[in-house]
Chains A and B, each alone.
Chain A
Amino acid sequence: MKRGHAILVTTIVGLLFAVFFLYPAAMIVRQAFEGTGDDASLTFDFIAAVFRNPIYREGLWNTFALGILSTMVTMAIAFPLALVAHRHDFIGKKWLGALILAPMILPPFVGAVGVKQMLGVNGSLNALLMNLGLMESASPHDWLSHGRFVGIVLMNALHLYPILYLNIAAALAQLDPALEQAAENLGSPPWKRFLRVTLPLVMPGVFAGASIVFIAAFTELGVPLVFDYARVTPVQIFDGLKGLDNDPLPYALTTVLLVASITVFILSKWIVGRTRPGSAPRPKGRNSAMRLTGVKSAACAVLFLSVLVLSIIPHLGVMLLSVSGRWYGTVIPDELTLRHYSEALGNELVVPSIRNSLLYAGCATLAALVIGLAVAWVVVRSQLKSRGLLDSLVMLPLAVPGLVMAFGYLALSQEGMPFHFLIGSGGNPFLLLVVAYMFRRLPYVVRSAVAGLQQCNPVLEEAASSLGASPVRMLRRIAIPLIGANLAAGGILAFAFAMLEVSDSLILAQQSQHFPITKAIYALLSTLGNGTELAAALGVWAMLFLTVAVIGAVTLGGKRGGAFKL
């Protein structure tokens, strides 16, 4: 990449990032650095106060341990699955490979209720065990309050593994099978082939997924809240932000969490990233996956199915809740009904919210793809010294609590404030939400695109350029088709998570005609009587829609790209 182009892209992206992400975040977080005197001078006392408080120190350690262990367990789930799918054809592979992505789509607010319906004291699991005579009805086990730490790690892993799976699958799809075949021909045993050939070659994809999984687990709020586990930093921040005391400590904690996330990211990038990137040649042929039959084929299917069943326990809870007339102490609801669907989907908020969400999330994803690709290009293909900084910067949005960003945007979009131009006529928050969603989900696209570019050999692009192709033509004809699978993976993740974005949606979409789906779910949730069931019904609708859309994108886009094998 020409140095001039790299500087231009870095400057534009850097400016956009500074204005639309760092500025609103800093607007809010700066409270942690304002002195208590009248002059509000710069101070680091609150940061020091965080470390002086043993509760916050313990929270940080717990958060770190949760992040590391969750990433390891996620890896233990995702890597074997991706490898099995890459190497073998087995019964039901096409469907299982696509369905395995379903766990990442869990509607907000009702997910926790779904988990409790399944694993609570009077939940399905206990009812099943009692029916089977494996548990006394007088002393049901309280699954959610015992072994909370392990429970959080498992639940984190079971809802984050699709991110890693998608990235590893995309990396494996880029792998030239000739290399593995060559190793095999030279007598290398399977495990050695894996460690010496496959693993180093797919490392960019592994790192792309693992870094997102780590930061997601490190900053996870919902899962610890399901287990009522309060001594972790994200919960401490959330509690502090919502507190009545206008306390600066949660902002200091946010800063600490941000710095810790980025430090771990840079460190792991330094350790993992020392493998030589960009040296893999273009895959020379279709990978011929080995067709399995009989027991082996069934075993692979069972492996996929078991992970799927375990990971969709919360989803099953939400689904059953949405059709339950009454569900109390039984395996499935003892009264089934569809009335919650007719009531929830018939609500006047729903149709506009679907249109709005598609618009907000769709535009945000498109924008994230353009900016993400530009960032990835600079990071991988340029020699700029600042490219490492740019790469780390764009990971920041994953680590900032949603509430902090939402209130940053809210404060700056008031009349007379710099972002007011993002509010359209009649208070339409379209641009504001697109910007908010886009920056929040940019890391998914950047990581996937970086991984794709690292695996691609730059000689192909150089050849195109030397033959006279303009940069745009080279991108369109060479680069984008080559990393299409990675961009699809990043885009799918960005879109699905933008559709389910909570804090920005709740705070920034103020008028009902501008509500996205998540805010419509929130509104239904507060209906007296069957609010939870109504919210579950709309949540299931959103899950269905996103599942079909994601499976569609994977199967159709995958075939066209010819590289995204699932």
Chain B
Amino acid sequence: MKAKACIIIGLLVIIVALPMLLRRDSDTANPDAADDTLVILSPHNESIRHEFGEAFAADWKKTTGRSIYIDWRTPGGTSEIRMVLDAGFKAAQKTRRQGIGVDLFFGGGEPDFSGQARLDRFQRLNVFDNHPEWFAENGPIPETFTGERYWPADHVWVGTCLSRFGICYNPDVLKRLDIPSPTRWADLGDPAYAGTIALADPTKSGSVARAFELVVQGEMQRALAHPGANPKAARESGWADGLRLIQRMSANARYFTDSASKVPLDVGQGNAAAGMCIDFYGRSYATDLTTRDNKPRVVWLPSNAGTTLSADPIAVLKGAPHPEIAQAFVAFCLSPAGQTLWFGRPGTPGGPRKRALHRMPIRRDLYTPEILALTTIPDANPWHDKGNLTYQPELTGAAFGTLRQLVKIMCIDSHDELTDAWSAMREAGMPADALAVFSDVSRVNYATVGHGDARLSGKDKLATADHAAELGEWFRTNYRRAAAIARSTRP
């Protein structure tokens, strides 16, 4: 008995001692010894947090002589952060306090920051007054680009780096399925991809919702650019084509996920052939996942004429406990020293210490051949990329919320019926009559919902729930009918 107890206790001691022996301490990690503290709420990954934390701490020490502890608050992705902000500010309002004990909100998408700004939760940023040259016309940080806003007129948030959604694919799987490499969203609607596409979930992230909006807008702009096109008719047909493309991509999809890393990971493992993926995860996995003969298992590329370059912002929260340090952090992020961290190769001057972040800085003046040579994306040229799409808010901006709901109703909630019909149609050689029923989007045409539909995204949640149930059933009935037609015509 004693021997057994000794073995078990001995084993437990060894297991617990192991991390103690391997422990590495960081310069910035000791909250008790630090002179200053900065509290940052962020969905950024651990690598970004680590590099920016260490670099800012070093910069702070250099400029002020004081040590700093960065208290990163990471409750999850942007949806969890939104809920944390809501809970905090609601309680603050009730108890008439200023702020929620957090200094900065760092990372997310423009829709997340615009939403919080509308709720008046941000302070004006000093960097606009201290460094007006950074925001001057033709200065390093433009107000808008590709139709995307990089800072608002009231200067309460500012983008720190750029990102865009694109396509990642696994060359091995494409070879096995005998599919050519995709270059644009429309390629992901090819029935040959059935069951092998990994999609991001537009209902849980504003940035992904924007990516879906751009899929529709890409089709609308293509229709409008057609010589001699009637603008009204082109908008109508482009909208319908966009919805049908989302339908086909979704019919090929295995799932819709809110985890940014799941898509490139599944593609890299060969569980999915291709997917919709944000650039830095795509690039990171492309570098890290290789085959035995060192060929990449993930290839990432921007969808040709299918994506804009959106900003990943930062903002100082109202009632921030350390407003001066928070403003200094924002200025550091926009300074050349902070900006180089985003794309520098680890170990190069000004680059990250440990890991490449694979992201594109927002400052235009850093995209010089000399600097790019020291980065992990030497061929990056976002400012002159001919494949960029320019977002035209007047086309679909009013339907942003509606479109997201529509994807949910038409594709996510109805996914079982959608994929079943798709599979039946594939087996039957895509009969035209079945396809017509399958891709009927007449009830959600541009005239009806293209400028936003209160029945889908209005404030009356009960009415929207009932309409969603009814519309969803209409789509599912169509999919079931399409499946039945296809099965009855199968040779």
Assess whether B265 is in contact with A532, with CB atoms less than 8 Å apart: yes
Inter-chain CA distance A351–B29, complex, in Å, is: 13
Assess whether B80 is in contact with A507, with CB atoms less than 8 Å apart: yes
Assess whether A345 is in contact with B416, with CB atoms less than 8 Å apart: no
A525 — which chain B residues lie within 8 A by C-beta?
46, 261
The yes or no answer to B62 lying at the interface (CB within 8 A) is no
Inter-chain CA distance A328–B280, complex, in Å, is: 22
The yes or no answer to A55 lying at the interface (CB within 8 A) is yes
Inter-chain CA distance A354–B23, complex, in Å, is: 12
Q: Which of B12, B75, B195, B463 contacts A549 (CB 8 A)?
A: B12
Interface string of B456-480 (1 = CB under 8 A from A): 0101111101101100110010000
For the complex, would chain B's binding face be called helix, strand, loop or mixed by DSSP majority?
helix
B25 — which chain A residues lie within 8 A by C-beta?
348
The yes or no answer to A346 lying at the interface (CB within 8 A) is yes
Specify the chain A residue showing the minimal Cβ separation from B11. Answer: A548
Specify the chain B residue showing the minimal Cβ separation from A512. Answer: B72
Shortest beta-carbon distance, A268 to chain B, in Å? Answer: 30
For the complex, would chain A's binding face be called helix, strand, loop or mixed by DSSP majority?
helix
B20 — which chain A residues lie within 8 A by C-beta?
351
The yes or no answer to B66 lying at the interface (CB within 8 A) is no
Shortest beta-carbon distance, A564 to chain B, in Å? Answer: 14
Inter-chain CA distance A372–B307, complex, in Å, is: 56
Assess whether B87 is in contact with A242, with CB atoms less than 8 Å apart: no
The yes or no answer to B71 lying at the interface (CB within 8 A) is yes
Assess whether B412 is in contact with A117, with CB atoms less than 8 Å apart: no
A323 — which chain B residues lie within 8 A by C-beta?
none
Shortest beta-carbon distance, B459 to chain A, in Å? Answer: 8
B271 — which chain A residues lie within 8 A by C-beta?
116, 120-122, 144
Shortest beta-carbon distance, A495 to chain B, in Å? Answer: 14
The yes or no answer to A472 lying at the interface (CB within 8 A) is no
In chain B, positions 443-466 with a C-beta closer than 8 Å to chain A are 457, 459-463, 465-466
Inter-chain CA distance A242–B83, complex, in Å, is: 9
The yes or no answer to A243 lying at the interface (CB within 8 A) is yes
Kindly name the residue among A117, A414, A427, A513 whose own CB sees the greatest number of chain B CB atoms within 10 A. A414
Assess whether B269 is in contact with A116, with CB atoms less than 8 Å apart: yes
Q: Which of B126-134, B202-210, B225-233, B424-432 contacts A (4 or more CB under 8 A)?
A: B202-210
Assess whether B73 is in contact with A511, with CB atoms less than 8 Å apart: yes
Assess whether A545 is in contact with B356, with CB atoms less than 8 Å apart: no
Q: Which of B79, B101, B297, B356 contacts A242 (CB 8 A)?
A: B79
Q: Which of A138, A247, A334, A548 contacts B176 (CB 8 A)?
A: A138
Assess whether B203 is in contact with A244, with CB atoms less than 8 Å apart: yes
Q: Which of B92-100, B146-154, B241-249, B329-337 contacts A (4 or more CB under 8 A)?
A: B92-100
Assess whether B23 is in contact with A351, with CB atoms less than 8 Å apart: yes
Assess whether A348 is in contact with B91, with CB atoms less than 8 Å apart: no
CB-defined A-B contacts under 8 Å, sample of 20: A55-B414, A116-B266, A122-B271, A138-B176, A231-B416, A242-B80, A244-B205, A249-B461, A249-B465, A328-B269, A350-B23, A407-B83, A410-B84, A426-B31, A510-B75, A512-B71, A528-B358, A529-B47, A530-B288, A556-B4
Q: Which residues of B contact A (CB under 8 A)?
A: 1, 4-5, 8-9, 11-12, 15-16, 18-20, 22-26, 29, 31, 45-47, 71-77, 79-80, 82-84, 87-88, 90-92, 94-95, 97, 100-101, 173, 176, 195, 201, 203-206, 209, 254-255, 258, 261, 265-266, 268-271, 280-281, 284, 287-292, 297, 355-358, 401, 404-405, 412-416, 457, 459-463, 465-466, 468-469, 472-473, 476
Q: Which residues of A contact B (CB under 8 A)?
A: 36, 45-46, 49, 52-55, 113, 116-117, 120-123, 138, 142, 144-145, 228, 230-231, 239, 242-245, 247-249, 326, 328-329, 334, 341-342, 345-348, 350-351, 354, 407, 410-411, 414-417, 426-427, 506-507, 510-513, 522-532, 541, 544-545, 548-549, 551-552, 555-556, 559
